[in-house]
Amino acid sequence: MKDLINKIDAFGEKIIGFIYNKNRFIDKLMIAVTLSGELGIIWIIISFFLFSRTKYTKEAIMVLLAIALASILGEGIIKHIVKRKRPFIKNNIIKLMISQPGTYSFPSGHTASSFAAATVFIRTDMRLTYLIVVIAILISFSRLYLRVHYLSDVIGGIILGVFSGTIVVMIFK
């Protein structure tokens, strides 16, 4: 299993190595995208927008609960069990484009919350689902690009997010 994870992570590093820090626009875009995912800010803003439309109040609550569940499981439990060091620590990358995250690497919290929100949109057939999924993918990619996560961290975050979103939707249905 460890060999498979190492191969997945090496593949991720190879992809990022081709584009990392070669285009200032992409660098700035990835920083902006990752910052939009800080503390689930973009998903909270979208939830408040949904709250403002009476028709989507239930979905807004589901998005917030899915993000909360993903955060509790990922940030509160799994990261402290796995205790995986981040790639910039392991690979001695001195200068990051963003400030160093303070917690462990696995799973990606940005990715988990993004895919928790996206899963609620997908499973409730809400409008703009494609846009939400694109935002979730961009946030996840930004974490790889900025060298704060391994590809396996992002995959773990996707799985956790889909699980969290699915559980919340099932409870509400």
In SS3 terms, 131-167 reads as HHHHHHHHHHHHHHHCCCCCHHHHHHHHHHHHHHHHH
> How many domains are contained in the chain?
1
pLDDT in tens, the chain (173 residues): 788 888 888 888 888 777 776 788 988 999 999 998 888 889 999 998 888 888 889 999 999 999 999 999 999 999 999 999 988 887 776 678 888 888 899 999 999 999 999 999 999 988 889 999 999 999 999 999 998 999 999 999 999 999 999 999 999 98
- Global pTM reads 0.91
In a domain, 5, yes or no: no
In a domain, 61, yes or no: yes
Q: Which domain holds residue 154?
A: 23-172
| CB distance 145 to 13 below 8 Å | no
Interatomic CA distance for residues 104 and 86, integer angstroms? 6
pLDDT given at position 94? 66
Interatomic CA distance for residues 107 and 79, integer angstroms? 7
In a domain, 50, yes or no: yes
| CB distance 149 to 139 below 8 Å | no
